[in-house]
Amino acid sequence: MPGRVVLAMSGGVDSSAAAVLLRRQGYEVVGLFMRTGVEDHGSSHADRKKGCCSAVDAGDARRVADRLDIPFHALDFEAEFGRVIDYFAAEYARGRTPNPCVVCNTWLKFGQLWAFGRQLGADHIATGHYARIVNGSELHKGLDPDKDQSYVLHGIRREVLPHLLFPVGGYTKPEIRVIAREAGLLGVADKPDSVEICFVPGGDHTAVVRQRRPEVATAGIIREKDGTILGEHDGIDRFTVGQRKGLGVAAGRKRFVLELLPERNEVVVGDAEDLLAGGLVASGVNWLMDEPAGPLPCSAKIRYRHAGVPATVTALLGGGAVVRFAEPQPAVTPGQAVAFYAGSRVLGGGWIERAAE
């Protein structure tokens, strides 16, 4: 027998199909649902696009476990998940654009999940992410380019990689839905994908941010690079670098957010070409290989839907790195993650502190 595996079950089709695939491979599967305290904001699968961590999802996950006859646990992670939401609000208050999925995966799913797995004597932990483990300890992209989630997994501790399984990573999304249907999991086979941050209903993050950091709801100015004042705003948390729509000013031509200055409560705007940067400085870099001794050629991905571009990354003392792009890139956004690739392999990643020339 391959051994025991603890599978994070979200109630969605991906983790449900992962359970089917693991059973086929002979694993002893234990299902785990992480209760985060996130409330439902819809009454059915059809009108909810979150598909993650709510009470409805917990019920779906339990029904899948019952159907597949695997043990199932629902554990309370509300306090731990509160740290993720605190981080989210704090980043916006600093004039940065957070990526809570990276933080949730690093802190919660692959931190707490592995801790729980060890308590149960598990050999592995698994999730429904579209990624792959190759050669026993290398993190690679999922085979479906439209669903690849390796970018949000770069923060996983290197020592956990040999214990990870990503059963759906070698399939396309349509194939995964077929696997779920053939296994009789009709309740989740056609469940909508999660397309929103699970604790931000409707996609409006300002209510969440201002509940935890009310000081951000402070009026300030929107200005050009040269200091020309274009208007006012009611809080810098409404803006992100690269934003064009919803600026609330009329400048006579397209304006883009270039910079957020929280210490002065200012939003600086300019032309699209002003967004171009030759590189970036990152902090909190997590290497999934031996830290390079010199400049390392790679492909750098600076946001989830970014295709990745040729670059070199140089490690710095203290866990930072400098990235130089082969061609300037637009909207290098502080607070977002940067991930480094060699082909399909994830070499590591960190947090964007600032753009660089």
Same domain for 173 and 44?
A: yes
**What percent of the chain shows pLDDT beyond 90?**
84
User: Could you say which of 274, 290, 307 is where a domain stops?
Assistant: 274
Asked if the structure places residue 121 within a domain, the reply is: yes
Interval 74-98 mean pLDDT: 94
Same domain for 257 and 315?
A: no
User: Is the entire prediction scored with pTM above 0.85?
Assistant: yes
Asked if the structure places residue 34 within a domain, the reply is: yes
Interval 135-164 mean pLDDT: 96
pLDDT of residue 56: 85
User: Model confidence over 165-216: pLDDT tens digits?
Assistant: 999 999 999 999 999 999 999 989 999 887 778 888 777 899 999 999 999 9
Same domain for 27 and 53?
A: yes
Joined together, the tokens standing for residue 270 give: 């300019």
pLDDT of residue 341: 98
Interval 271-279 mean pLDDT: 97
Same domain for 66 and 195?
A: yes
Same domain for 145 and 246?
A: no
Asked if the structure places residue 208 within a domain, the reply is: no
Same domain for 247 and 194?
A: no
Asked if the structure places residue 342 within a domain, the reply is: yes
The catalytic residue positions are: 104, 198
251: pLDDT confidence band, cut at 50, 70 and 90?
A: confident
The CATH code of the domain that includes 244 is 2.30.30.280
> First-to-last CA distance in the chain?
54
pLDDT of residue 53: 62
The answer to whether 140 touches 133, Cβ cutoff 8 Å, is: yes
User: Could you say which of 274, 289, 305 is where a domain stops?
Assistant: 274
Same domain for 25 and 155?
A: yes
User: Could you say which of 159, 174, 201 is where a domain stops?
Assistant: 201
Same domain for 224 and 331?
A: no
The answer to whether 9 touches 17, Cβ cutoff 8 Å, is: no
Same domain for 188 and 313?
A: no
Domain of residue 302 covers 276-356
Domain count, the chain: 3
Same domain for 244 and 327?
A: no
The CATH code of the domain that includes 345 is 2.40.30.10
pLDDT of residue 52: 58
Spatial neighbors of 309 by CB under 8 A, at least 6 apart, are 299, 300, 325, 326, 327, 329
Residue 159: other Cβ atoms inside 10 A = 9
Asked if the structure places residue 187 within a domain, the reply is: yes
Q: Which of 6-15, 40-49, 329-338, 345-354 has the lowest mean pLDDT?
A: 40-49
Asked if the structure places residue 37 within a domain, the reply is: yes
Asked if the structure places residue 213 within a domain, the reply is: no
Residue 194: other Cβ atoms inside 10 A = 18
Same domain for 72 and 8?
A: yes
The CATH code of the domain that includes 133 is 3.40.50.620
Asked if the structure places residue 305 within a domain, the reply is: yes
- Single out the residue of 239, 233, 240, 237 nearest to residue 219, CA to CA: 233
Same domain for 113 and 173?
A: yes
